Amino acid sequence: MQGELQKSEVEYEEVIAFGGYVPTLVLTVNELFVRGLMDTGASISIIAQGALAKIMKGPERLQSVSGDRQCIASNGQPLKVLGEVRLPVAYLDNEVEQFRFVVTADNFGHDMIIGSDLLRVLGFQFYNVKNNEFHTQK
């Protein structure tokens, strides 16, 4: 998708406006490398319509979503949700046969948002360096 991707690559992109870094992660989605933004504040994972068009191999169809379901971007604005799709995802030795992504028409600067739902399934945990402990979900 964006530039040359290496298998299971983690990268931090510099965000000039904020002077910080944002963590990105390359996953294998439907057997292709796709870079996404790791967003621990997002409860769901989202894939952009343009990225989905590049990785679809067959006649997979979007599943409709309930009209009362709404996705809100970090800027507080609603995203235009087109539907949901289930795709195979892999990261290193972790493979998920079918993972549910919300598909949006909006362009949010990345091919996908890797939310806490997918991060958890792939085995990511949050570590507090200062207290030398892992955060566990209760």
CATH number at residue 120: 2.40.70
Please, which pLDDT band fits residue 5 given cuts at 50, 70 and 90? low
Q: Is residue 64 part of a domain?
A: yes
Kindly state whether residue 61 falls inside one of the protein's structural domains. yes
3-state DSSP helix/strand/coil percent for the chain, to nearest 5? 10, 45, 45
Q: Give the count of domains, the chain.
A: 1
- Here the tokens at position 108 are 């949010």
Is residue 73, in this structure, part of any structural domain at all? yes
Q: Please write the tens of the pLDDT for every residue from 35-88.
A: 999 998 899 999 999 999 999 876 667 777 766 667 888 778 888 889 999 999
pLDDT value for 29: 95
Query: Residue 116 in contact with residue 122, Cβ under 8 Å?
Result: no
**95 forms bridges with which residues in the sheet?**
90
Query: Residue range 8-31: average pLDDT?
Result: 69
Is residue 8, in this structure, part of any structural domain at all? no
Q: Across residues 124-130, what is the average pLDDT?
A: 79
pLDDT tens digits for range 76-122: 888 888 999 999 999 999 999 999 999 998 778 889 999 999 999 99
Q: Does the residue 75 lie in any domain?
A: yes
Structural domain range at position 46: 25-85+101-124
Quote the tokens at residue 77.
């604005």
What pTM was computed for the model?
0.77
For residue 4, tell me if it sits in a domain.
Answer: no
11 occurs within a structural domain = no
Contact of 133 with 127, CB cutoff 8 Å:
yes
Residue 95 lies in a domain: no
For range 14-38, the mean pLDDT: 80
